[in-house]
Amino acid sequence: MNRAQDERACIREAMDRLLAGQATVSNGSFTAALAAEAGVHRMALYKRHSDLKNEFDERGRTETQQVPETEKQLRTTVAKLKKTIANQRAELEELHQLVTRLTPASAVLTQKREPPTDPDATPHNVIPFRPPTT
């Protein structure tokens, strides 16, 4: 047997022990215990034997009904992000409605009012503050 096959055999045995709740080397937690229990470096597990790491995570979910800590953290983050997106969409809708209401008011306020050129165009019940200059 070569070194990689030995590592894989050790990892599989460690998987079985951890899933059975009979950890001998590690504390039995599912976060980083597989590499410690198998006696291999953690990076070897993630780089060379990622298929076994994924298999362990899947077996852990199905056999022990446990969710890995990283998955819990990701689910929490996703929930927070979804809430943030919903809040931002509501805020954007509110701002859109505000712009829709303020646009006509802005147009009226910025429109230049020119005095009437024909003095007879002014109604007779309106008294100007200043007499028209001619």
Lowest mean pLDDT among 45-49, 92-96, 102-106, 119-123: 119-123
Q: What is the pLDDT of residue 98?
A: 95
DSSP 46-59: HHT-HHHHHHHHHH
Lowest mean pLDDT among 1-5, 35-39, 68-72, 111-115: 111-115
Averaged confidence pLDDT in the chain: 80
For residues 125 and 77, what is the distance between their CA atoms, to the nearest angstrom? 69
Q: What is the pLDDT of residue 122?
A: 63
Q: Virtual CA dihedral for 30, 31, 35, 36, nearest 10 degrees?
A: -80
Question: Tens of pLDDT along 38-88?
Answer: 888 888 888 888 888 888 878 877 776 767 677 788 999 999 999 999 999
Q: What is the pLDDT of residue 63?
A: 77
Contact criterion met (CB below 8 Å) for 56 and 62: no
| Token pair recorded at residue 130 | 């200043």
